[in-house]
Chain A
Amino acid sequence: MDAKEIIARRVAKEFNDGDVVNLGIGLPTLVPNFIDEGVEIILHSENGFTGIGPAPEADQVDLNLVNAGGMPVTIMPGGVFFDSAMSFTIIRGGHLDATVLGALQVDEEGNLANWMIPGKLVPGMGGAMDLVGGAKKVIVAMTHTAKGEIKILKKCTLPLTGAKKVSKIITEMGVMDVTPQGLVLVEYNTDYTIDEIQLATEAKLIISDQIKAMI
Chain B
Amino acid sequence: MNKQVNQKAWFLVLPVVILVAFNAVIPLMTVVNYSVQETFGDNVFSWAGVIWFEQVLNSPRFHDALLRQMLFTAIILAIEIPLGLIIALAMPRKGFWVSVCLVLMALPLLIPWNVVGAMWNIFALPEIGLLGKGLNSLGFDYNYTRQPLTAWFTTVLMDVWHWTSLVVLLCYAGLVSIPDDYYRAAKIDGASAWAVFRFIQLPKLKRVLTIAILLRFMDSFMIYTEVKVLTGGGPGNATTFLSIDLDKIALGQFDLGPAGAMSLIYFLIILLFSWLFYTLMMRNEAQ
Answer yes or no: are A and B bound together in one complex: no
Residues of chain A touching chain B, judged by Cβ–Cβ distance below 8 Å, are none
Residues of chain B touching chain A, judged by Cβ–Cβ distance below 8 Å, are none
